[in-house]
Amino acid sequence: MSPPLLWRWIPPLTAPGRIQMAIDRWMLQQLLRGGPPMLRLYRWSAPALSLGRHQQRWPDHWRTAGVELVRRPSGGRAVLHHGELTYALVMQPQLRSREAVYRHCCLWLQHALASAGQPLQFGQAAASTAAQRSSCFATATAADLVAGDGSKRIGSAQLWQGAALLQHGSLLLDPSIELWRRLFGADPPRLAPLPWDAQQLEIELRRAAEHHLCGGALIDQPLSPEEWSAIRALEPGAAVG
């Protein structure tokens, strides 16, 4: 039996949306070139809306709402990145069913939140229903994790290139009610606060990933200057117009 692949851990960082999306694209490129599976957590330096890869329509007022608009490499609907924590992973799953892969790639998130006393289950909404909404968190499909009362805590999306997978998602923490109403005309999901501060949350998520995703310890490896140069080349030339 082959030994398990060693996963690379890119330490958490805070940056604008354009840079964060470029890093995620770069991670998938590296995997396709023979690089290791990777996992990272990150935050956005200013409120931003990431639009799904195929999302062509969104409300006009989003352009003047004072938030950055960026395009995700993955599918799904718009996500407000404010009062949340984002994760991204790249790997080559052995499973081929998309639903089974989502379940495998979200297991660590379920274990982490369960250890905080907040078990999560997968959503039940049809993908066709979700496609009719502008906001990712307006519905919960089999790609998403919800609390017992149906409130959506984590929304995830994928991009496949051959056997290579990029999956990233948003873990809601303390979303702004005012900003949510301004953008989506509705309140954010009502969620119980987690018992951890920001640093402890990252520790708990990493620990859960090592046990339930990576099959062993994550290898710390910050981005090198050469890698940053390659990432900068992947930044979009302009914001979503």
Residue 17 in contact with residue 68, Cβ under 8 Å?
yes
Which stretches does DSSP call E strand in the chain?
8-15, 38-44, 48-51, 68-71, 79-81, 84-91, 121-122, 145-146, 152-161, 164-172, 219-220
Distance CA 118, CA 135 (A): 23
Tokens encoding 65: 């709402």
Give the E-state strand segments of 60-198 in sequence order.
68-71, 79-81, 84-91, 121-122, 145-146, 152-161, 164-172
For residue 136, indicate whether it is catalytic: yes
Instruction: State the catalytic residue, choosing from 105, 106, 136, 214.
Output: 136
- Positions marked catalytic: 136
